[in-house]
């Protein structure tokens, strides 16, 4: 695993430097365009200040801000033991040094994402729709995918690229507004007085950069995001030893008719399946944040019975038609070396199931299982929102909202009254 993280780090540095050069080029040409000759250095300085401010906010408060925007509620182990147990299992399998914070988003659409600046600051958020619809194997697949993002250092890298993208968009937007509302007139007078052809060239380059730089930055950001989704899928298959679990989960997420309530263009690319961008097998493009979900499912189902990175890479080449590996070469060499050592017992084996059958049965689960998962998830959300739980002698469970300001609460089934300071409370 460390080879993937190291490879990601090297490529991340290259892409961050590329985005930084684009950002400073935008700053320089904007300064020359709006402030006149010599204003380029000031423009770079302003671009650097904007980037530092946005990066500081994202680095120190990004997780909290994203959870607040997404409506995530932080929970403890007692709130949802099944989810915590699955996360703990995948943390052990991935050999992470710390269990990420766990959040639940009260949304009926199934989805999940990971965020944070490093392993110690990481967080995983899942929706109530995901918890209600997925069985344990499928939930393990999704959680392992998000753990893969944390393990591969994707969360910090995508945060940095996202901040740079935001800074470029902000600067170009301000430049366009200033240029078309008077800045170009000041710039034209200066050019006509100096008759400097170089300044005219800078003017043209500046206008082109204002138009193209946000597009180029988005292409870089989205291309990096797509590759990291493949790597996280491969990590999930390795951690769970059961690629079919994630494949079924992706089907349920992709083919649901429910759309998320709290999402936007900023948060959507972070999810395991982009809730604003449903993809068919051939619809991926430069501005797609994720690979086609159907393609990801096919790759997982074409892995061999004992999942490893070679199997994933082979399936990736077969399904995508790519001649280039998605897995770093050093990781593949390590797997080859491991294959020469004594074999290890397999935890699970993938059972081939026809795609058409699974597509039709993706949302088909036993009503009793769904009902139990819904109750479990609903209770976890209410506990996270500081509801108080009281077990009544008649078997009912009273759920008292934090805004309830009366000294007693009465069970509607048996009419028994309880003091809110009573020791019979169970939960928060």
Residues labelled as active-site residues: 146
Q: List Cα–Cα distances, 332 to 57, 78, 174, in angstroms.
A: 38, 40, 47
| Residue 339 structure tokens | 């294959």
Paired tokens of 104: 């639940």
Residue 283 has φ and ψ, to the nearest 5°, of -95, 0
Q: Going by C-beta distance under 8 Å and a sequence separation of 6 or more, which residues neighbour residue 307?
A: 237, 238, 241, 242, 243, 350
Q: Give me the residue label for tokens 């597009």.
A: 215
- In the beta sheet, which residues pair with residue 270? none
Q: What is the C-alpha to C-alpha distance for residues 175 and 177, in angstroms, rounded to an integer?
A: 5
Specify whether the CB–CB gap between 335 and 234 falls below 8 A.
Answer: no
Question: Contact at 8 Å (CB) between 163 and 58?
Answer: yes
- Give the burial class of 347: count Cβ atoms within 10 A of its Cβ; 0-12 exposed, 13-18 middle, 19 or more buried: exposed
Query: Which tokens in the block code for residue 217?
Result: 């930055």
- Residue 161: partners with Cβ closer than 8 Å, 6 or more residues away: 15, 16, 19, 220, 221, 224
Q: List CB contacts of 14: < 8 A, sequence separation 6 or more.
A: none
Q: Could you tell me how many residues make up the chain?
A: 428
Q: Are 230 and 291 in contact (CB under 8 A)?
A: yes
DSSP 50-81: HHHHHHHHHHHHHHHHHHHHHTEEE--TTT-H
First to last CA, the chain: 40
SS3 content of the chain, % helix, strand, coil (to 5): 60, 10, 30
Query: Quick one: which of 246, 180, 172 has its CA closest to 208?
Result: 172
């Amino acid at each position: 695993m460390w080879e993937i993280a190291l490879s990601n780090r090297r490529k991340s540095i290259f892409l961050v430097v590329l985005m930084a050069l684009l950002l400073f080029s935008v700053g320089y040409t904007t300064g020359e365009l709006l402030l006149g000759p010599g204003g380029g250095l000031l423009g770079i300085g302003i671009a650097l200040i904007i980037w530092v401010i946005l990066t500081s906010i994202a680095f120190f408060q990004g997780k909290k801000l994203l959870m607040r925007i997404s409506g995530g509620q932080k929970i403890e182990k007692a709130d949802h033991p099944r989810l915590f147990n699955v996360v703990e299992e995948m943390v052990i399998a991935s050999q992470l040094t710390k269990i990420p914070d766990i959040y639940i988003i009260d949304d009926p659409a199934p989805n999940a994402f990971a965020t944070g600046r490093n392993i110690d600051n990481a967080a995983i958020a899942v929706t109530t729709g995901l918890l209600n619809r997925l069985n344990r194997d499928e939930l393990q697949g999704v959680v392992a995918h998000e753990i893969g993002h944390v393990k591969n250092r994707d969360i910090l890298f995508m945060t940095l690229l996202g901040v740079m993208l935001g800074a470029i968009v902000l600067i170009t937007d301000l430049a366009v507004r200033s240029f078309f509302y008077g800045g170009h007139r000041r710039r034209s007078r200066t050019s006509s007085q100096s008759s400097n052809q170089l300044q005219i060239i800078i003017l043209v380059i500046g206008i082109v950069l204002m138009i193209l730089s946000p597009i180029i930055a988005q292409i870089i950001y989205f291309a990096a995001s797509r590759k990291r989704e493949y790597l996280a899928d491969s990590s999930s298959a390795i951690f769970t030893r059961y690629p079919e679990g994630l494949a079924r989960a992706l089907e349920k997420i992709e083919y649901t008719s429910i759309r998320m309530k709290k999402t936007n263009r900023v948060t959507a690319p972070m999810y395991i399946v982009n809730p604003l961008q449903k993809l068919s097998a051939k619809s991926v493009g430069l501005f797609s944040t994720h690979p086609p979900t159907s393609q990801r499912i096919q790759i997982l189902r074409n892995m061999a019975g004992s999942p490893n990175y070679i199997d994933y890479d082979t399936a990736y080449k077969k399904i995508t038609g790519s001649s280039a590996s998605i897995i770093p070469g050093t990781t593949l060499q390590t797997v080859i070396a491991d294959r020469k050592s004594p074999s290890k017992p397999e935890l699970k084996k993938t059972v081939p199931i026809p795609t058409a059958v699974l597509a039709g049965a993706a949302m088909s689960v036993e009503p009793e299982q769904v009902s139990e998962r819904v109750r479990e998830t609903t209770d976890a959300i209410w506990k996270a929102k500081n509801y108080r739980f009281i077990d009544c002698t008649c078997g009912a469970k009273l759920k008292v909202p934090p805004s309830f300001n009366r000294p007693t609460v009465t069970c509607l089934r048996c009419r028994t009254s309880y003091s809110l300071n009573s020791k019979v409370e169970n939960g928060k």
